[in-house]
A and B are shown apart, each in its own frame.
Chain A
Amino acid sequence: QKEVEQDPGPLSVPEGAIVSLNCTYSNSAFQYFMWYRQYSRKGPELLMYTYSSGNKEDGRFTAQVDKSSKYISLFIRDSQPSDSATYLCAPYNQGGKLIFGQGTELSVKP
Chain B
Amino acid sequence: EPEVTQTPSHQVTQMGQEVILRCVPISNHLYFYWYRQILGQKVEFLVSFYNNEISEKSEIFDDQFSVERPDGSNFTLKIRSTKLEDSAMYFCASSQSPVREQYFGPGTRLTVT
Q: Which residues in A have some Cβ–Cβ distance to B below 8 Å?
A: 31-32, 34, 36, 41-46, 49, 51, 88, 90, 94-103
Q: Are A44 and B44 in contact (CB under 8 A)?
A: no
Cα A90 to Cα B95 in complex, Å, equals: 15
Contacts A41-B109, A96-B31 known; 20 new A-B pairs at CB < 8 A: A34-B102, A41-B89, A43-B91, A43-B105, A43-B107, A45-B104, A46-B103, A88-B42, A90-B43, A94-B98, A95-B56, A95-B98, A96-B48, A96-B55, A96-B95, A96-B97, A96-B102, A98-B33, A100-B44, A102-B41
Number of interface residues of B (CB under 8 A): 29
Cα separation A58 to B97 with both chains bound (whole Å): 22
User: What residues of chain B lie closer than 8 Å to A88, measured between beta carbons?
Assistant: 42-43
Which residues of chain A are near B43, meaning CB under 8 Å? Answer: 44, 88, 90, 98, 100
In the assembly, what is the distance between CA of A94 and CA of B105, in Å?
22
List, in ascending order, chain B residues with CB within 8 A of A102's CB.
41-42
Interface contact B44-A49, CB-CB below 8 Å: no
| B41-65 interface bits toward A, Cβ cutoff 8 Å, 1 = contact, 0 = none | 1111100100000011010000000
